Amino acid sequence: MKDGVGFKSISSGSRGNCALVWDDSDLLIVDFGISYRRFRLSTESFLQDSLSTSVFVSHEHSDHSSGLRTLKNKQSVDIYTKRRTGERLGIEFYPIERETTIGNFTVIPVAVSHDAIDPVVYVIRHGGTKISIVSDLGVATESLANAISDSDILAVEANHDVPMLNGGSYDPRLKRRILGEMGHLSNEQSAELLSRSTGGDSRIVLIHLSENNNHPDIALSHVSSYLDNRKVSYRTIECATQDSGSSLYSI
C-alpha cells in the first residue's frame, strides 16, 4: 500500500467482527472476534507479512475479542484497549485512554453507550485520511457525529430493522436490550447519524448487521433513501457481511 491507506472489514456481525487499516509499514486491526485461520485466509492475497501489527479492541464482548489470545500466540502483536476492558479480558495490553500514535497513524478512542464495561469506537487518522469504525452503541450523540464527521471511510453500525426485530423470535428481554440506549443502532439511527457526519467523499460501509433482524437490501434501501432525500452527498455505500466483510478500499 505504497503512499496510501487500505481498509477492509474481514467479518462483521454477531458471530465475529474484525476490520483492518494499513499502510506500507503498519497494520491496525480493530477487534478480533474471529479465528486466526480465518484471519490468515482472508488476508493472504493483499497483506504483507512484514507489517508491524497492532490490535485495538473496542470492548470485551466475545464477538469482538474471542481470537485475541490465539493471535497473540501466533504472531507478534501489540494489543491496545481501555484499561478496564483489558483487565476484564485478562490479556497483556497497552491502555489507550487518549489518542495514540502508531507509525504514521493516530488512533483516537471515542466513548459510546453499550452494555460493556468501558466501550469505545475508533477514529483513525493518517495524514489527510480519516477512517471511523463505529459499532455496538445504543445512542449516537452529537459529539460522536462531530468526531467521525467527513471521514473517508465511515463504517457505521446498522444492526437491526425495528419491524423485523419486533416481529421476530427473540425474547422480550433481548429485544429491549437491543432497542435500548445500551444496545445497538437501528437502520434509522444509523441513517440519522450518517446524515450528520457524512461528507461528499465519504465511503459508507454499514456494519454489524444482524442476520436475524436485518437484511443488506433493507439496510441499504433505508439508509441510502434517508440520505438521498435529505440531499446528503457521499461517494459509495455498501453493507459488510458476516462471511465476506466489505470491499477492499485503497485511499
Q: Among residues 243, 77, 227, 76, which one has the least CA distance to residue 156? A: 227
Q: What is the pLDDT of residues 193-220, one digit of tens each?
A: 999 999 999 999 999 999 999 999 999 9
pLDDT band of residue 1 (cuts 50, 70, 90) is low
Give 81-132 pLDDT, tens digit per residue.
999 999 999 999 999 999 999 999 999 999 999 999 999 999 999 999 999 9
Look up residue 221 and give its three cell numbers.
434501501
* pLDDT tens digits, one per residue of 133-173: 999 999 999 999 999 999 999 999 999 999 999 999 999 99
Contact indicator for 120, 108 with CB cutoff of 8 Å: no
Q: Name the 3-class secondary structure at 230.
A: coil
Q: Please give the CATH architecture assigned to the domain spanning 6-250.
A: 4-Layer Sandwich (3.60)
**Domain limits of the chain?**
6-250
Instruction: Give residue 49's pLDDT.
Output: 85
* Mean per-residue pLDDT over the chain, rounded: 97
pLDDT score at 13 = 97
pLDDT over 70, % of the chain: 99
The answer to whether the pTM exceeds 0.85 is: yes
Question: pLDDT band for position 3 (50/70/90)?
Answer: low
Q: Is 6 helix (H, G, I), strand (E, B) or coil?
A: strand
- What distances in angstroms separate CA 79 from CA 15, 173, 206, 222, one per listed residue? 21, 34, 25, 36
The answer to whether residue 2 scores a pLDDT higher than 80 is no
CA 162/CA 170 separation, integer angstroms: 12
Regarding beta strands 26-30 and 94-95, do their DSSP bridges make them parallel or antiparallel, or are they unpaired? unpaired
DSSP state of 186: B
